[in-house]
Chains A and B, each alone.
Chain A
């Protein structure tokens, strides 16, 4: 069976038990805070929380290995490119320049630049487990209901959840199509050169799109025939009732956000600057 890249992994855990709306609020709080803040202390605290959340979810690392590998590659690339394109951004930002050693040409490795890049990477490292956590512990239907709860029109939120739902099916289709193409000389194996493989993967696209379009046609007929879109609102079978745990987590998120923003903006900007003497 095709490896599942990203999907809901049903389990029993504290995180799974929270309502979708709560998880969406956690996700948004973390994303916004993480996006706005450059304060290392805040970021480190968020990192700690996101790892705690992850361990509470009972999701095993092996279940998300593919995504984790991807993240590490991305981080390394990002780190190198940031440095190559603008090695002096850190000193500029922090207003001081402490050279660690000279590399070549105009490239000096400075403490400030490293610290800046460390902060950027931190943001990704925080965001990643939270995103994984949200997707793999939220039942797609509940996800739709929570989106509509916070004001997204239900037609849009339902399409998003359907799209998520069909990822495994489309992966299965891809797998089958790839096999039949391989039988006809379209090489996709590991021994084929990367660009050759990329070019050949494109050949699978047409059949994949055609089968997916058929799928969409069927499902949209079936939905219409069962009154989807009849009213401005709809009810949700999977909506979880909010519990005390939900309310406490939401309250915690609000406090976290407010305190995080206060700390971040303490010095007049969103930086934590250890280089100021």
Chain B
């Protein structure tokens, strides 16, 4: 069989870069294959995808060497239009790619550009919408849809063109866990219905492997370091070596001393088969763990009492929300997109005013306090650092929050320098912000909040879209802050973050709190998981399979063991 995509000694260097981003790639992909391309940030995996869909070299220019053919055409002699009729690309952020005002119009976009007549267009979009199951929402605005529905619309907008290759660039990045799971199932369904070749670029491999893939291509520093079947890759130590998180159940099996080379169905928790003596090993491991006991009986630092909220003239968003946070806690707020998590944090900061109820800081009612007054106690770090940064230089950005407090220039400098030191940014103090990486920018935004001396810091999705290394960097930094006594509240979709770093989780559904308990307890509660669009952890399956009566405790033991392993590694 002839490959549908073929890279031959292919290299690419962006005009703005000193080094090539892709180096001597040789890769053949055959019609009908389903392939996962993974790698840490900067490994070149997205660049590889952009070479296939033609964004490179037609939108991002650079120097290309070697040869790349897609469906028989050599890309550099082709055009982005010719390629776009063969390769359909679903980009990372569904919100960013809607052009139509309604679902129907958005799906029709490619057809409009191809001069299809209105009647034929209507027929074709209904067919595409039917394939992804969005046909009942055709006249809605894409912005009014849920995260999962949005993803369906972007898929329909691509398959409407009868493409041969579907390329998904980090499809899970902005989705809540449950929606992520259904997205992976939907990709599989579309592949079966349309008989296309599917490429998924993603670093969250446990989530992608929920449905079978044929091959995994692992990239590092612009090269392909592994091109093999999933089970072979999982049995090797390549994932951790190249900064990719291996599936949790796999780590667990390794801790328990199970020989993963002999386990069947290792690439998917649904197919995993454990032999009797493997189960015994896991039970033994579990019994040998000391039960971690962490009690925080500090005073309450933040209390939210019976808060209702609605924007003017629109539907109510928060309903009778109450919770308490102890000083020094690290707390997760989870739930699907639009459940009211960010709104709750904005109400706490005073950005939005609650209609009823009150908010107490250290027992004192701050409901009537101004944004500025609250900011010296409670800081809020937005998800996108670009939304916060307003100065060109790091020093000025961090100093901004304390500029008009009437400090002397020396005092000001000392406070800013101290904060920069805590955040590991001291050596960059005279740098322009534009020279920093995303993770460093995130730190700058955290520093610009910390400088005001808040005792509570709330962060909206601090690790969204970050690979394992950056994730660990940011979270370890937050943990350090937490150990210094700062109370931390995190809004997150990352179930692993919740398990690994937080003491407690508050679960929101449709503007109400539906649970307030430990992360492990949340992720072992099937009913709650379904209600709040979360996803059970694979550890829970293992516990069930092995017959452990208290899966919550099992998960806690694993997390504890994992923390110890990691500390030893550092």
Binding site for B on A (CB under 8 A): 1, 139-141, 162, 165, 173, 176-177, 179-187, 189, 203-204, 206-207, 210-211, 214-215, 218-231, 233-239
B390 lies within 8 A of A185 (CB) = no
Residue of B nearest to A184 (CB): B401
B112 lies within 8 A of A224 (CB) = no
Measured in the bound complex, the distance between the Cα atoms of B379 and A261 in whole Å is 64
A residues within 8 A CB of B93? 218
List of 3 A-B pairs having minimum Cβ-Cβ separation, nearest first? A218-B96, A222-B97, A184-B401
B112 lies within 8 A of A236 (CB) = yes
Residue of A nearest to B400 (CB): A184
A residues within 8 A CB of B105? 141, 237-238
Give chain B nearest CB distance to A141 CB in angstroms.
Answer: 5
Q: Mark B72-108 against chain A: 1 for CB-CB distance below 8 A, else 0.
A: 0000000011001100110101001101110011001
Measured in the bound complex, the distance between the Cα atoms of B371 and A180 in whole Å is 9
B84 lies within 8 A of A207 (CB) = no
Give chain B nearest CB distance to A108 CB in angstroms.
Answer: 50
B112 lies within 8 A of A234 (CB) = yes
Measured in the bound complex, the distance between the Cα atoms of B520 and A82 in whole Å is 73
Q: What are 9 A-B contacts defined by CB distance under 8 Å?
A: A182-B351, A184-B401, A189-B370, A207-B390, A214-B386, A218-B93, A224-B84, A231-B115, A237-B112
Give chain A nearest CB distance to B438 CB in angstroms.
Answer: 12
Secondary structure at the A interface, as helix, strand, loop or mixed, is helix
Measured in the bound complex, the distance between the Cα atoms of B111 and A64 in whole Å is 36
A residues within 8 A CB of B89? 225
Size band of the interface chain B makes with A: 35 or more
A235 lies within 8 A of B380 (CB) = no
A183-B380, A185-B401 known; A227 and B387 CB under 8 Å? no
- Assess whether B4 is interfacial by the CB under 8 Å rule: no
B59, B112, B370, B389 interface centre (most CB from chain A within 10 Å): B112
Measured in the bound complex, the distance between the Cα atoms of B97 and A181 in whole Å is 28
Residue of A nearest to B404 (CB): A185
- Assess whether B311 is interfacial by the CB under 8 Å rule: yes
Binds A, one of B116-124, B229-237, B244-252, B485-493: B116-124
A residues within 8 A CB of B101? 139-141, 165, 238
- Assess whether B403 is interfacial by the CB under 8 Å rule: yes
Measured in the bound complex, the distance between the Cα atoms of B111 and A234 in whole Å is 9
20 further contact pairs, Cβ within 8 A, besides A222-B96, A233-B115, A234-B112: A1-B312, A162-B99, A173-B387, A179-B371, A180-B380, A182-B371, A183-B374, A183-B380, A185-B401, A207-B388, A221-B91, A222-B97, A226-B161, A227-B114, A230-B81, A234-B114, A235-B115, A235-B118, A237-B108, A237-B118
Give chain A nearest CB distance to B284 CB in angstroms.
Answer: 51
Q: Mark B348-378 against chain A: 1 for CB-CB distance below 8 A, else 0.
A: 0101000000000000000000111011000
Of the candidates A189, A206, A223, A235, the one whose C-beta lies within 8 Å of that of B117 is A235
Give chain B nearest CB distance to A26 CB in angstroms.
Answer: 22
Measured in the bound complex, the distance between the Cα atoms of B158 and A140 in whole Å is 23
Measured in the bound complex, the distance between the Cα atoms of B386 and A214 in whole Å is 9
B113 lies within 8 A of A210 (CB) = no
Give chain A nearest CB distance to B200 CB in angstroms.
Answer: 16
- Assess whether B384 is interfacial by the CB under 8 Å rule: yes
Give chain B nearest CB distance to A54 CB in angstroms.
Answer: 22
A1, A225, A227, A238 interface centre (most CB from chain B within 10 Å): A225
A173-B387, A206-B389, A221-B59 known; A227 and B349 CB under 8 Å? no
A185-B400, A225-B55, A235-B115 known; A219 and B96 CB under 8 Å? yes
A207-B387, A218-B91, A235-B118 known; A225 and B108 CB under 8 Å? no
Measured in the bound complex, the distance between the Cα atoms of B391 and A203 in whole Å is 8
Measured in the bound complex, the distance between the Cα atoms of B88 and A189 in whole Å is 47
A218-B96, A224-B84, A233-B115 known; A207 and B389 CB under 8 Å? yes
Measured in the bound complex, the distance between the Cα atoms of B91 and A54 in whole Å is 42
Give chain A nearest CB distance to B459 CB in angstroms.
Answer: 12
A224 lies within 8 A of B55 (CB) = yes
B112 lies within 8 A of A183 (CB) = no
A residues within 8 A CB of B402? 185
Give chain B nearest CB distance to A236 CB in angstroms.
Answer: 6
Residue of A nearest to B397 (CB): A184
A176-B387, A207-B388 known; A227 and B84 CB under 8 Å? yes
- Assess whether B109 is interfacial by the CB under 8 Å rule: yes
B371 lies within 8 A of A229 (CB) = no
Residue of A nearest to B405 (CB): A185
Measured in the bound complex, the distance between the Cα atoms of B389 and A272 in whole Å is 58
Residue of A nearest to B375 (CB): A183
Give chain B nearest CB distance to A21 CB in angstroms.
Answer: 15
- Assess whether B149 is interfacial by the CB under 8 Å rule: no
B residues within 8 A CB of A214? 96, 386
Measured in the bound complex, the distance between the Cα atoms of B98 and A226 in whole Å is 11
